[in-house]
Amino acid sequence: MFDKLKKKLRGAMVAFSYGLKNTEADIFGQKTTMSASNIIEQKMQQNELAEALLKGEVTEQVEILRDRTYLVSDESKNYKVIIDTVGTTKAFKKMGKKKTPNTFNEEGYDVSIVMDNNAIPSSVLEGFDSIGTYGIKNNYPLKFEYEYSPKFKLDEYVKRIVIRNGSTPEDIRVDLYVPQFRDTYERLEKIFDNEINKIRGNKTKPFHVEFDTVYFISDKAFGTDDLKPYMFKMKKFIGVSEFDGRNILTYEVETVGDNEKITEKYKNKKLRDAYENKESRGTKLNLGAVKKDKNICEKCGAEVESDYDFRIIKQTIGIGVCNGCLAKINEKNNK
């Protein structure tokens, strides 16, 4: 449990320092000119952040960290980072548009989204949990819901989903790519293949390849950003086509819900504004500017001008005091 938390925290810290290094220095194309006090202050902020993360508090810093991680992840996709032999990192903006993958299409339709459906390996722990019960389950990005308990779980057969748009917004087609299981020894794959061949030859109704809804969150897909949810309700099965050695199952569908990025609700205004205004050019993103109160000496009540001094003192001796009171405390301790 604690190990897991530590690992999480370490991951967060790596993401955090990656964010500082790569967004500000490399991605914005500015040279690193961090002074010693910048570095110390950032280290202090990191400690405070670590404390907040350990306590499970969602402070503004944690909020900014979370959003920064998403921002870095989005931005970094536009750059190719090269690290040379002496460890200097250089970022280059990627040029040009991605080429449409080799996909099946018909007259009057545009390929809008292409995403592969590869098994997501479950973690070792999850694997242990399921041993002796149901065996190790595979997870897939595509989630199908069915009206009736299905004969075939489509997520296990489908290798790729393609969304195509016709001339009107309502005219949407979903293609499911399945391999042709010709030489398989897997009983179920054989049965599935036979079923598709029967459907193609109109020897049976497409009942066993129909579904109610299909849902996925975009991940490395063509035609869309990552982390966008897509859900489609099946209206009608259209037919089976053959393309590039695979069977394509085509459906007429309608969209359900919106495609707002799932990280959208975590957007932090301060970070996004700073990013928009390129505040980070020349000056660092002021992650520490969260303070709403004045720094008041806990001994004499005087206001401490330097936020930086006050925080160092508080971090070091546990209470926030002015320089005068700090001197007195030191004197007393030295006696």
Smallest gap, in angstroms, from Cβ of residue 317 to Zn ion?
13
Give min distance, CB of 333 to Zn ion, in A. 16
Instruction: Encode the chain in three state secondary structure.
Output: CHHHHHHHHHHHHHHHHHHHHHHHHHHCCCCCCCCHHHHHHHHHHHHHHHHHHHHCCCCHHHHHHHHHHHHHHHHHCCEEEEECCCCCEEEEECCCCCCCCCCCCCCCCEEEEEEECCCECCCHHHHHHHCCCCCCCCECCCEEECCCCCCCCHHHCCCEEEEEECCCCCCEEEEEEEECCCCCCCHHHHHHHHHHHHHHCCCCCHHHHCCCEEEEECCCCECCCCCCEEEEEEEEEEEEEEECCEEEEEEEEEECCCCCCCCHHHCCHHHHHHHHCCCCCCCCCCCCCCCCCCCECCCCCCECCCHHHHHHHHHHHCCCCCHHHHHHHHHHHHC
The stretch among 17-25, 148-156, 269-277, 325-333 that binds Zn ion (CB under 5 A) is 325-333
Name the minimum Å distance from CB 304 to Zn ion.
8
328 binds Zn ion (CB under 5 A): no
Return the number of the residue (72 or 322) whose C-beta is nearest Zn ion: 322
Q: In this complex, which beta carbon is closest to Zn ion, that of residue 24 or of residue 298?
A: 298
Q: Binding residues for Zn ion, how many (CB under 5 A)?
A: 6
CB of 298 to Zn ion, least distance (A): 8
- Residue 244 and residue 224: Cα distance in Å, rounded? 24
322 scored as a contact of Zn ion (CB under 5 A): yes
Q: How big is the chain by its Cα radius of gyration, in Å? A: 28
List the interface residues with Zn ion, window 302-321 (CB under 5 A). Answer: 302
Segment 264 to 303, residues that bind Zn ion, using CB under 5 A = 297, 299-300, 302
CB of 328 to Zn ion, least distance (A): 8
Minimum CB separation from Zn ion for residue 320, in Å? 9
* Cβ proximity to Zn ion, 66 vs 311, nearer residue: 311
* Least separation in angstroms between CB 310 and Zn ion: 11
CA-based end-to-end distance of the chain: 45
Identity of the residue, 158 or 321, whose beta carbon is nearer to Zn ion in the bound complex: 321
The region of 53-61, 97-105, 251-259, 324-332 touching Zn ion under the rule CB under 5 A is 324-332
For Zn ion, the closer CB: 163 or 304 = 304
Between 206 and 320, whose beta carbon lies closer to Zn ion?
320
Binding mask 186-205 for Zn ion (x = CB under 5 A): --------------------
User: Cβ 308 to Zn ion, closest distance in Å?
Assistant: 17
284: CB partners within 8 A, 6+ apart: 24, 34, 38, 42
Per rule CB under 5 A, is residue 58 in the interface with Zn ion? no
Nearer to Zn ion, 283 or 306 (CB): 306
If the CB atoms of residues 176 and 321 are measured against Zn ion, the closer one turns out to be 321
Residues lying near Zn ion in the complex (CB under 5 A) are found at 297, 299-300, 302, 322, 325
